[in-house]
Amino acid sequence: MLESALDWWRDAGVDTLVDELPRDWFAKPSTPSPAPPVAAEPSASLPDSWDAFLAWRGGDHAPEAGWAGPGVLASGPADATVMVLADVPDRDDCAAGKLLTGEPGRLFDRMLAAIGLARETVHVASVCARRPVSGRVGRDDETRLGEVARHHVELVAPERLLVMGDAASRAVLGMSVLQARGRLHPLNHKGGMTSVVASFHPRFLLEHPGRKREAWRDLQMLIRGSGE
C-alpha cells in the first residue's frame, strides 16, 4: 500500500510533505466555506432499504435492465464513511464483474492509498449498472439515473463522496467536473449531510497525466474536508 501511495505522489508531482506536522486525516472536518446546500431530490418508488435497493438495482425494473451485457453492481461496505461514484463500467469491469479494474483500477487503488484508504473500506458504485453501447451515459437516461444515484448515496449516507467524471458529477451535483471542482458541495438527504468532491475519472487521468496534480488536490480536499 505504501509503495502504491509513493507511486501516485510521484506521478502527481508531489515532492514535499503536505504539512510539517502530523495531521489526523480522519478528524472531524472544519466547517466548509459557505455555499448554498445541494439537496438530494426525492426519489419516488425506489426501495428504502439497502438489501431491497441492491436487488432492485440488478433486477428487471432498473433503468438499464434492457441494456445488453452483464450488470456490475456496487461493492464495499454499505455504511462506508467514504463513497466513490464513477460513471459507467469499463469493458474490463464487465468481464471482471466489478467496478474500476484494469489499468484505471490500478491507478484508482494508488489514489486511495495516497490518502490512506483502501478499496475494502470504500463504497464504490457507478451511475450505470451496465455499460451503455456508446460507453457514455445518454442524455435521455440522465434524469432517471441521477435520481437513482442520489438515492444510492442517501442509503449509504457517507460522510464524504468522490464523484469521478462528468456523468457522475452531473448525476449528483447537476454540473460538470470542471464546473464543480475546487470546492466542497454539501448534499443534504434523509440520512444527514454528505460532503461531495468532484474530480477526474482514472481513465481520463491515464489519457491526460498532466491533470494528476489537480486530482491530487481533489483527494486532499476529500480527506481534509476543506476547500483549496
Long-range pairs for 184-187: beta carbons < 8 A, 24 or more residues apart = 184/32, 184/33, 184/35, 184/221, 184/225, 184/226, 184/227, 185/35, 185/38, 186/32, 186/35, 186/37, 186/38, 187/37, 187/38, 187/39, 187/40, 187/150, 187/153, 187/161
- Give the span between the Cα atoms of 28 and 188, in whole angstroms: 18
Q: What is the pLDDT of residues 129-145, one digit of tens each?
A: 999 988 888 888 999 99
- Residues forming a β-bridge with 26: none
Q: What are phi and psi of 4, to 5 degrees?
A: -65, -40
Q: What are phi and psi of 38, to 5 degrees?
A: -95, 120
pLDDT attached to residue 6: 57
Question: Residue 12: is its pLDDT beyond 90?
Answer: no
Q: Which of 34-38, 49-53, 139-143, 212-216 has the lowest mean pLDDT?
A: 34-38
Burial tier of 122 (Cβ tally within 10 Å: 0-12, 13-18, 19+): buried
pLDDT attached to residue 192: 92
Q: Which of 17-31, 159-173, 174-188 has the lowest mean pLDDT?
A: 17-31
DSSP state of 88: S
Predicted structure pTM score: 0.82
Q: Tell me the residue type at 199.
A: S
